[in-house]
Structure 1
Amino acid sequence: MVDKKKNPIQVADRLFGAVEYLSAHGASTLTEVSEALGLNKSTMHRVLASLEFMNYVTQDPITGKYDLTMKLTELSFRHRQHFDLLQRIHPHLKQLVKASGETVHFVKRDGKDAVYIDKAESDQNQVQMVSRIGSRIPLYRSAVGKAMLATLSEDMVEKIWRQSTIERITPYTITDYEEFLEALADVRRRGYALDNEENEPGVRCVAASLEFMKQEAEYAFSISAPIQRMDNDRIRVLSALILETKKNIQEDFDR
């Protein structure tokens, strides 16, 4: 159990202590920061040098004073955008759950994976999906992944494919690159992507990407359900709901 009164990583105390001091007091000398944090100058100099190396701090060449860069502001802005995005997207996901009666996921592309950043489950179903917020799924074997990859250039798709550990997780997982490119062509033609038990036996998914103002998708959402409730007729119904939801979300962000 973590001792709440003592930071388990001492250097983190020093790094963030310096950041918090500069945030509160503005440009300061090495002496001022070291005295405020109770550290000797040589230790404080290494802390500030590390922050400067990571572009969180800059030193004025004339006064010698240290001050924060805009990096924290940029990080805060990105975090706020992320939070605002989820607030705006979630009602659409809940509406899709209501219309479909199935679990809906929202993901963000991160390298060769998709990361679950939101999830809305239906209270009509006893079977709950094992996915959880913060977990990852490879792009190449997921509906959300294929939906986003279909918006990328072929060079980028090939790069992500080569970076991925291609494994036949189920008998339906696509492991041949040419077959995978054909699957992406199907996504572009239909407007939505399918996961036909490619990642998890007995589970099928329908997904669409969200491009917003960009040509390349960073986000996607999907409906997932056991195969017993996901025959081809049902997929036709759910894919129409997916495409309608995509249209509604993008219209919402275009306002």
Structure 2
Amino acid sequence: MATNAPRTVEAVQRACRIIETLQRQGETGITELSEEVEFSKSTVHGHLATLVDEGWVVKEDHTYRLSLRFLDIAESLKDRIADHDIVREQVRGLAEETGEVVHFGAEESGRVVYMAKSKGNAAVQTESRIGKRMPMHSTSLGKAILAELPRERVEEIVEQHGVEARTENTLTDVEALHENLAEIERRGYSIDDEENIPGVRCIGIAVTVPEADVLGALSISGPSQRMTDDRIENELHEKIAQAANVVEVNSMYA
């Protein structure tokens, strides 16, 4: 019977599982890795030997870790989204100005991926890290991007990933989410009102260029007692809009 499903290669899937596990665990031995991925030791050893030979994994004594070749890939990918030097400069400047945590993220496969992060002198601890993927419907970065996308694409993302409740404030009703996105489009910025992390509010703004897809979004995050509606509207909105404009202009003429 004919099928439209794409063919997959089991060996590649296993290699990806091993790489993802090494990313989470850091330096790991074959026994621990075998137990985690639930492959036989001989299978894991064969994949590791190949990855070491190709330079993607480093063997040190009896443990294995990802090689620094992944850094080269990561840096080249960042510049495909926007001028990453400019992004880093604006993220760092916003963090210094506001004292809060500042992120830049982009959408990939219906998730928002953190691509830059900087912490001001009063910043709270968050679970975010470069490369981490997060839901779009519950984050200010994600909602700022969603508000720029066609409704059909938003519906595709919702259908693919759902609208999981991250906190009691998360919008889990699809129509309510669409109404919120329409409000973001009118207002010009998004708000994560403790929707992703209890006690943390964020403002987000999309970074766009004419006749192109949305490049990503910037966000400022802080404790809810500091991230008041008045501060967001009368202080942070202007600062983050200026930073977004700098990234947009430099991306247009890069």
TM-score of the superposed pair, with normalisation by structure 2: 0.68
The one of 126, 137, 141 aligned to 2:138: 141
Aligned equivalents of 2:241, 2:50: Cα separation in 1: 50
Check 1:145–1:13 CA distance in 2 against 1; reply closer, same or farther (3 A cut): same
| SS of equivalent residue, structure 1 residue 146 | helix
Please provide the CA RMSD for this pair.
2.9
Q: Which amino acid aligns with 1:232?
A: D
| Residue aligning to 1:27 | none
The one of 46, 49, 52 aligned to 1:10: 46
Q: Which amino acid aligns with 1:127?
A: V
1:121 aligns with 2:137: no
Deviation of 1:244 after TM superposition, in Å, equals: 1.2
| SS of equivalent residue, structure 1 residue 195 | strand
Deviation of 1:200 after TM superposition, in Å, equals: 1.1
Aligned equivalents of 1:177, 1:126: Cα separation in 2: 32
**Partners of 1:151 and 1:215 within 8 A in 2:** no
Deviation of 1:128 after TM superposition, in Å, equals: 2.4
Moved more, 239-248 or 82-91: 82-91
The one of 218, 221, 226 aligned to 1:221: 218
Check 1:18–1:196 CA distance in 2 against 1; reply closer, same or farther (3 A cut): closer
Unaligned runs of 5+ in 1: 20-75
**Partners of 1:2 and 1:8 within 8 A in 2:** no
Deviation of 1:209 after TM superposition, in Å, equals: 1.4
Q: Deviations over 1:172-223 (max 9, x none)?
A: 1111111111111111112111111111111110011122355432411100
TM-score of the superposed pair, with normalisation by structure 1: 0.68
| Residue aligning to 2:3 | none
Identity, % of aligned pairs?
32
Within 5 Å, which residues of 2 pair with 1:185-196? 185-196=182-193
| Residue aligning to 1:90 | 88
Within 5 Å, which residues of 2 pair with 1:147-186? 147-186=144-183
Check 1:215–1:186 CA distance in 2 against 1; reply closer, same or farther (3 A cut): farther
Unaligned runs of 5+ in 2: 1-26, 30-42, 56-71
Q: Which has the larger radius of gyration?
A: 1
Deviation of 1:243 after TM superposition, in Å, equals: 1.0
| SS of equivalent residue, structure 1 residue 229 | coil
Q: Which amino acid aligns with 2:97?
A: A
Check 1:18–1:142 CA distance in 2 against 1; reply closer, same or farther (3 A cut): closer
Q: Which amino acid aligns with 1:80?
A: S
Moved more, 84-93 or 139-148: 84-93
Check 1:170–1:182 CA distance in 2 against 1; reply closer, same or farther (3 A cut): same
The one of 198, 202, 221 aligned to 1:201: 198
| Residue aligning to 1:110 | 108
Deviation of 1:18 after TM superposition, in Å, equals: 8.2
Check 1:204–1:18 CA distance in 2 against 1; reply closer, same or farther (3 A cut): closer
Aligned residues: 197
